[in-house]
Amino acid sequence: MLDVLFIGFSVGSILLLVALGLAITYGAMGVINMAHGEMVMVGAYTTVLSRIWLGGNIFVAIPLAFIVTALLGLLIERVVVRRLYGRLLDTLLATWGIAILIQQAVRLEFGLSFFGIHVEGLGPGLQNVAVPAFLQGAFQFAGQEINIYRTFIIVVTLLVTLVTWAILYRTSVGMQVRAIIRNRPMAAACGIDTERVNALTFAFGSGLAGIAGVMMSGFKTVFPDMGSSMVVDGFMVVVAGGVGSLLGSIYSAGMLGEINGVAAWATNDIVARAIVFGVVILIIVLKPQGLFSYKGR
Amino acid sequence: MSLNRRNFLKTGAAGAVAAPYGFMRTAQAASTIKVGVLFSLTGGLSIIEKSLHDATLMAISEINAKGGAKGMMIEAVVEDGASDPKTYNEKASKLVIQDRVPTVFGSYTSASRKAVLPVFEKRHNLYFYPTYYEGFECSKNVVYTGAVPNQQLSNFIPWIIKTLGKKKFFIVGSNYIYPREMAKVSKILIEKNGGEWIADEYLELGHSEWGSMVNKIKTSGCDVVLSNVVGDSVVAFYREFKNQGLTHDKLPICATVTSEIEIAAMGAEYAVGSFTSFPYFQAIDTDINKAFIERYRAFVKDPKAVTHHALESSYFQVFLWKQAVEKASAITPDAIRDAVKGQEFAAPNGHVKIEPENLHTYLTPRIAQWLPDGQGKIIDAYPQPIKPLPYVAYGETDSNPFCTAKGLDTAKLKI
């Protein structure tokens, strides 16, 4: 049974890793960022490219991917998203468009493929990220074989969550973000530069997606479409957990992961996925605000 | 690195040469044959279908360089299926009705083939389909040049049981028609050869969370895994398999879909020691295959490009079609179809021949074990090509064919 729970825990940590950035952008800024999955993809491609062109491994890629995707996020916020605050559906459409643009940019190698130039590591094909040998295989724990790479993902997720928590609850910028989540006009009235905080928040959320991308690249294939399915899972976690609540996202990721793990063990993966979606629907119907939510004041 | 000045110049030069040539072709419209080329150039499936598209165009350009078919230049009308069956259907209609092509080469998935089938049957046109598929189809308007289940499994399962000595099968696949039909054929063969199957499990197509499934495999007590997993799920599957501490020397994965493309994408170390059954592998050690790989790499300007079964079929089927055009009395779909029956060709995988009755292709079954360099080592091969039997899951045999030139004998088919 321990192995089943471990897999559920690991599924949950992957969900959380993808959802964390979304929880912040959606929660704090009220932007439905459909390009979040593509940020994950860009993070994964950063891993691929840093291996090919810089010779770095997955550990080098983590800070690199954070910086690349955070800058990309900052750019998107400055150019598009900042003009759309308060228009929820418009942000959805605009960021969806951005998602398609990013996907095609990678697939067409930023247009270079029209000129017959091939950049190794980009293009429509599947890319492969080598995982260092000490992260492959399994180790023995309490009579069970535990997957090393999944353990690594769990550790990274814990660290990233801890850092996010510390920033939100132990720094002055974090306090400003929380104030904006509660009540934006009042925060602005108190002298918080909401535009600046929004830009930083969006960049940070995108950077977290980049880290998720690095972790996913060692786990599955890297290709231009890889992000589109992940953004669905991410929103599922955020909506079920309660918009704007970090704790809610953590709980709901853990819960949905375990439900998935146990249901897949008891029946099969296809039924398990249906059960997870069923649970999410039930949560939204019974608690439209999600499991944990702040009352806006 | 292919990003350098020399390649850039070469490409520019090729473009400059190609431009007046294309103009010439339209000027001499009377001596050209238009054919449709319909693969997904965008969307999720473009990863693989782009390579089939390239192989088709390469065959066309090689034929044109040697004087064309019946003295006529072949002109490819390229359309994009966009990884979407509905788009496939629309583009097929466009090619058949508007461009009036006598033949279309296309499709990778069964879903896209099923989507275009009504167009070709209603308009009495001809479709060349290059992919290995699940069988259970007997159309007079499709020429099938990929393997059918008996060419991938009827050698594989007995070999697993007798040579590997593995008897307890865990069958795993993606949840759609191809893996489910393959599982059906596998079960018949497993039982006939004295093995048993413990489980028959599926995961959503494109899903990459394999934790629970691999754990199930681990605790099931099986001694071999038969994988019909498709697409990028393959990569996540092999990685998870190794990461949960399973090894191919104790519990090998024997696959029907995992090709050079997937191996390159997952990293060869995850697949070392596992097996795949296909009529074609890049590792086939013949001069004709080596020359083919070299020409393909030059054609796509990627010195590391891999070749695989469906790609090779996409290539040689154009030559079978060309021979049929030369034999045919007229350039019409019906005449080409009648002429393609029994056509033979020395393909990179060996000798191929179109079976006159069911329009499928004689191919040579082969089994390869994957090596650390991402290439297969061919460890078992039939001495000659075997007859394609699209209804083998339902009792079709060499002497009792279900699918003939007259169509499907429904009296024999008991589901």
Same domain, B134 and B26: yes
Q: E strand or H helix at B184, and its extent?
A: helix B177-192
Same domain, B104 and B54: yes
- pLDDT value, residue A297: 46
Whether A112 shows a pLDDT value over 50: the answer reads yes
Mean pLDDT of chain B: 89
- Look at the block and give the residue holding tokens 């994950």: A40
Whether A17 shows a pLDDT value over 60: the answer reads yes
* Beta-carbon separation of B301 and A260 below 8 A: no
**Residue A18, token pair as written in the block:** 């993808």
Same domain, B289 and B265: no
Nearest to A37 by CA among A21, A53, A56, A55: A21
Which of B278, B308, B342 marks a domain boundary?
Answer: B278
Of the residues B48, B170, B209, B232, the best mutation for testing chain A's interface (the one with the most A CB atoms within 10 Å of its CB) is: B209
For chains A and B, what is the number of CB pairs under 8 angstroms? 130
* Beta-carbon separation of B11 and A147 below 8 A: no
Partners of A112 on chain B (C-beta within 8 Å) are 3
Residue B34 lies in a domain: yes
Same domain, B312 and B197: no
* Beta-carbon separation of B211 and A150 below 8 A: yes
Give Cα separations from B356 to A69, B342, B344, B348, B360 (angstroms): 57, 5, 11, 22, 8
For range B68-82, the mean pLDDT: 93
Q: How does DSSP classify residue B3?
A: -
Same domain, B142 and B25: yes
Query: Could you give phi then psi for residue A144, rounded to 5 degrees?
Result: -115, 150
Residue B5 lies in a domain: no
Strand order through the sheet with B366-370: B196-203, B168-174, B224-228, B253-255, B275-278, B366-370, B376-381
Partners of A129 on chain B (C-beta within 8 Å) are 267
Q: How does DSSP classify residue B279?
A: S
- Check if B243 contacts A (Cβ < 8 Å): yes
Partners of A136 on chain B (C-beta within 8 Å) are 242-243, 269
- Check if B208 contacts A (Cβ < 8 Å): yes
**Measured between CA atoms, how close is B269 to chain A, in angstroms?**
9
Same domain, B170 and B296: no
* Beta-carbon separation of A126 and B242 below 8 A: no
* Beta-carbon separation of A220 and B236 below 8 A: yes
Q: Which of B42, B44, B265 sits opposite A128 (nearest CB)?
A: B265
Which of B345, B364, B383 marks a domain boundary?
Answer: B364
- Check if B373 contacts A (Cβ < 8 Å): no
For range B278-300, the mean pLDDT: 95
The count of structural domains within chain B is 2
Q: Which of A10, A107, A115 sits opposite B11 (nearest CB)?
A: A115
Same domain, B61 and B95: yes
Q: Is B357 helix (H, G, I), strand (E, B) or coil?
A: coil
- pLDDT value, residue A295: 58
* Beta-carbon separation of A116 and B12 below 8 A: yes
- pLDDT value, residue B20: 44
Of the residues B49, B212, B257, the best mutation for testing chain A's interface (the one with the most A CB atoms within 10 Å of its CB) is: B212
The model's confidence at residue B7, banded by pLDDT at 50, 70 and 90, is: low
Q: pLDDT per residue over B250-267, tens digit each?
A: 999 999 999 998 888 888
Whether A117 shows a pLDDT value over 90: the answer reads no
Partners of A215 on chain B (C-beta within 8 Å) are none
- pLDDT value, residue A228: 83
Q: Are B229 and B199 in contact (CB under 8 A)?
A: no
Whether B2 shows a pLDDT value over 70: the answer reads no
Same domain, B126 and B18: yes
The model's confidence at residue A140, banded by pLDDT at 50, 70 and 90, is: confident
For range B375-383, the mean pLDDT: 94
Q: Which of B2, B207, B245 sits opposite A118 (nearest CB)?
A: B2
Give contacts of B 116-175 with A, CB under 8 A.
Answer: 175
Q: Exposure pattern of B344-374 as b/e (b: 16+ CB <10 Å)? A: ebebbbbebbbbebbbbbbbbbbbbbbeeeb
Q: What is the CATH number of the domain that holds B184?
A: 3.40.50.2300
* Beta-carbon separation of B243 and A221 below 8 A: no
- pLDDT value, residue A54: 86
**Residue B41, token pair as written in the block:** 């150039």
The model's confidence at residue B80, banded by pLDDT at 50, 70 and 90, is: very high
**Measured between CA atoms, how close is B267 to chain A, in angstroms?**
6
For range B62-88, the mean pLDDT: 93
SS3 content of chain B, % helix, strand, coil (to 5): 40, 20, 35
Q: pLDDT per residue over A57-92, tens digit each?
A: 889 999 999 999 999 999 999 999 888 887 888 989
- pLDDT value, residue B6: 52
* Beta-carbon separation of A115 and B203 below 8 A: no
Tell me which architecture the domain covering A2-109+146-286 has in CATH: Orthogonal Bundle (1.10)
Whether B195 shows a pLDDT value over 90: the answer reads yes
Residue B63 lies in a domain: yes
- Check if B16 contacts A (Cβ < 8 Å): no
Q: pLDDT per residue over A236-248, tens digit each?
A: 998 898 877 888 8
Q: Which of A14, A120, A272 sits opposite B1 (nearest CB)?
A: A120
Q: Which of A10, A126, A130 sits opposite B232 (nearest CB)?
A: A126
Q: pLDDT per residue over B22-73, tens digit each?
A: 444 444 445 899 999 999 987 777 778 989 999 999 999 999 999 999 999 9
Of the residues B175, B238, B243, B306, the best mutation for testing chain A's interface (the one with the most A CB atoms within 10 Å of its CB) is: B243
Residue B229 lies in a domain: yes
- pLDDT value, residue B4: 55
Same domain, B143 and B17: yes
Task: Note down the domain range covering B360.
Answer: 13-147+285-364
Mean pLDDT of chain A: 87
Q: E strand or H helix at B228, and its extent?
A: strand B224-228
DSSP string, B71-118: TBEEEEEEEE-TT-HHHHHHHHHIIIIIS--S-EEE-SSHHHHHHHHH
Show Cβ contacts of residue B13 under 8 Å, excluding neighbours closer than 6 positions: none
Q: Is B353 helix (H, G, I), strand (E, B) or coil?
A: strand
Nearest to A39 by CA among A8, A58, A67: A67
- CA distance linking residue B281 with residue B205, whole number of Å: 24
Partners of A260 on chain B (C-beta within 8 Å) are 209, 212
The model's confidence at residue B393, banded by pLDDT at 50, 70 and 90, is: confident
Comparing B41 with A27, the larger pLDDT belongs to B41
Q: Which of A124, A126, A136 sits opposite B265 (nearest CB)?
A: A126
The model's confidence at residue B133, banded by pLDDT at 50, 70 and 90, is: very high
Residue B121 lies in a domain: yes
Which of B252, B278, B304 marks a domain boundary?
Answer: B278
Determine whether A188 is exposed, middle or buried from the number of CB atoms within 10 Å of its CB (0-12, 13-18, 19+).
Answer: middle
Q: Is B186 helix (H, G, I), strand (E, B) or coil?
A: helix
Same domain, B272 and B155: yes
Same domain, B101 and B184: no
Q: pLDDT per residue over A175-222, tens digit each?
A: 998 888 888 888 889 999 988 998 999 999 999 999 999 998 888 888
Same domain, B235 and B307: no
